[in-house]
Amino acid sequence: MTKRPLILVTNDDGVNAPGIRNLIHIMNTIGDVVVVAPDSPQSGMGHAITLNSTLHAEEVKYDNGPQKEYSCSGTPADCVKLAVRELLDRTPDLCVSGINHGSNSSINVIYSGTMSAAIEAGIEGIPAIGFSLLDYGWGANFEPSKSFVKSITEKVLKHGIPNGLVLNVNIPNITEGGIKGIKVCRQAKANWVEEFDKRKTPQGKDYYWLTGKFVNLDGGEDTDEWALKNGYISIVPTQFDLTAHHFIKDLNTWNLNE
């Protein structure tokens, strides 16, 4: 009998979010599942970790399926660190993060708690995937994406992922006509044009709400933004080595030691 893979499931929307509950149900059909996820929403936390306060992990039970399930007081990256170092009795064969409520395509990957959890697993040498659905609503419909999430996960378990890489998977929010398929993409060149909505408290103090508009500056048809706009799931192989290798040679011509 083939041993079932051990799959660590986490997210950034919180342990009770519909996205992670759907992801858990999919992973239950593939392997043995352990969940370690934040006890409250941690969207936009990026790769933050907890240094100046204590961490807590409480075993919880929301529904049947996971071998064990923990609600963690920390960030998504904390959840993976704690799972690997303290809560699991062996290294997981795979870490899946999500399914996030909202996009983590293009520049959003930098801010994403969902992807930071996957990246943290990748740093530990664990194959990892971040899944996101382009619907921010708590009532998002995950049904159209389930077969794709399962297929992608099974292929990662079969083929593996090179060390230093994780997969960033974004799923279009499509109900009519269905998802067209999967495209392997590069990250689009895009950014947020940000503004702050300045207001005053009743006591006269200024406070600010961050607002903004997402602007795609990339016309390429090989990008994640193009794929999503045209009804495809995008997969971007993402690396956490941020070195600009192409610039090293030029930088060495600056005679920095003179």
pLDDT in tens, 183-240: 999 999 998 888 899 999 999 999 999 888 888 888 999 999 999 999 999 999 999 9
* Run of H or E including 117: helix 113-123
| 1 has a pLDDT exceeding 50 | no
In a domain, residue 138? The reply is yes
Distance from C-alpha of 226 to C-alpha of 71, rounded to nearest angstrom: 36
| 108 has a pLDDT exceeding 70 | yes
In a domain, residue 46? The reply is yes
Amino acid identity of residue 28, one-letter, is: N
Counted domains in the chain = 1
In a domain, residue 85? The reply is yes
| 33 has a pLDDT exceeding 60 | yes
| 73 has a pLDDT exceeding 70 | yes
In a domain, residue 105? The reply is yes
Say which CATH number the domain at 227 has. 3.40.1210.10
In a domain, residue 200? The reply is no
Token pair belonging to 238: 């993402």
Round the CA-based radius of gyration of the chain to a whole number and report it. 19
58 and 16 in contact (C-beta within 8 Å)? no
Note down the domain range covering 165: 6-188+220-254
- Dihedral angle sign, alpha carbons of residues 107, 113, 114, 116: positive
Distance from C-alpha of 47 to C-alpha of 57, rounded to nearest angstrom: 19
| 65 has a pLDDT exceeding 80 | no
Name the phi and psi angles at 247, rounded to 5.
Answer: -100, -10
Token pair belonging to 25: 């149900």
In a domain, residue 157? The reply is yes
In a domain, residue 196? The reply is no
Mean pLDDT to the nearest integer, 119-137: 97
| Terminal C-alpha separation, the chain | 65
pTM, two decimals, is 0.93
Of 231, 234, 250, 128, nearest to 183 by C-alpha is 234
In a domain, residue 140? The reply is yes
**DSSP-derived secondary structure letter, 187:** P
